[in-house]
Amino acid sequence: MKMIFWLIFLWPLLIGILIMIDVASNLWMTKALFASVPFLSASLSSIIALVAEVLPLLADRISVYLNKVDVEVLSSIREKAIVIGHGEQFYESPKILEKGLPFIVKNRTRRAVVVSHIVLGVTTLNIPLNFRTKSGSSPIEYEEEYTLNKWVVVQSDSSQILQAPWKKVTNAMKKAEEIARQTERRPKFFIGIYDPFPNRKFWSKEINHRALFSEFASLEWMKKHPEWGKE
């Protein structure tokens, strides 16, 4: 979607540059285009056949992108690239964090999503999380599961806020650091949900688990100093 946005945004500039190049080259591109018209007309049936074959695949990929389940965490702990003109965002609400780590599940599919488990995953591999081998193995090297007392149903085109218990979160964060020491590779930390009906897990983007640990440490300090800041 970012690529499409930048393409639309820069399209007038791109066209202007092409026109300037064409004029400076004595309409070389225009002449080449008109020279290729007979070839295009002769190959029209092949082009139509190719488009007819590729278009359904493209439409299917777009459909997968537009109809999916998103798991999003607080912006202050999310791994993100540095963008010029955009500063870091911080989340300051200890009361909300007391119950657990909040995250939102956005259901953009055409069916309801049932959440029976919250899953915290750690991996050092650069492989898409939905990849599975024939034996059923996934790139996740360690999982910390939490079974919900009551299953949560997220209806189509709706969202729901869930909270992962801090005990499970800190267990997974400690394991991430342990894996980092053992493998000497940077661990990647994710939070996900499990839907038992399609037997599928939906994962968030990478979480900065050290920033998350900082949030947790700040929360613990606030609990020990409840009078701080009240004046």
Over the stretch 177-231, which tens digit does the pLDDT of each residue have?
Answer: 999 999 999 999 999 999 999 999 999 999 988 888 887 887 776 677 666 555 4
| The overall pTM is greater than 0.85 | no
Domain-terminating residue out of 46, 66, 86: 66
Q: Which domain holds residue 153?
A: 69-224
At residue 159, the pLDDT reads: 94
Residue 231 domain-assigned (yes or no): no
Which of the pair, 96 or 168, is modelled with greater confidence? 168
**pLDDT band (50, 70, 90) for residue 143:** very high
98 and 156 belong to one structural domain = yes
Mean confidence (pLDDT) of the chain: 78
Q: How many domains does the chain have?
A: 2
Residue 230 domain-assigned (yes or no): no
Residue 203 domain-assigned (yes or no): yes
- Mean per-residue pLDDT for 58-71? 62
194 and 83 belong to one structural domain = yes
51 and 133 belong to one structural domain = no
83 and 103 belong to one structural domain = yes
80 and 54 belong to one structural domain = no
CB-based contacts of 69, cutoff 8 Å, min separation 6: 105, 106, 107, 108, 109, 113, 154, 193, 202
Q: What is the CATH number of the domain that holds 122?
A: 2.60.40
- Do residues 94 and 219 touch, judged by C-beta distance below 8 A? yes
pLDDT tens per residue across span 91-138: 555 666 778 889 999 999 889 999 999 999 999 988 888 777 766 678
- Mean per-residue pLDDT for 45-74? 63
pLDDT tens per residue across span 16-54: 787 788 778 777 766 666 565 565 555 555 655 665 555
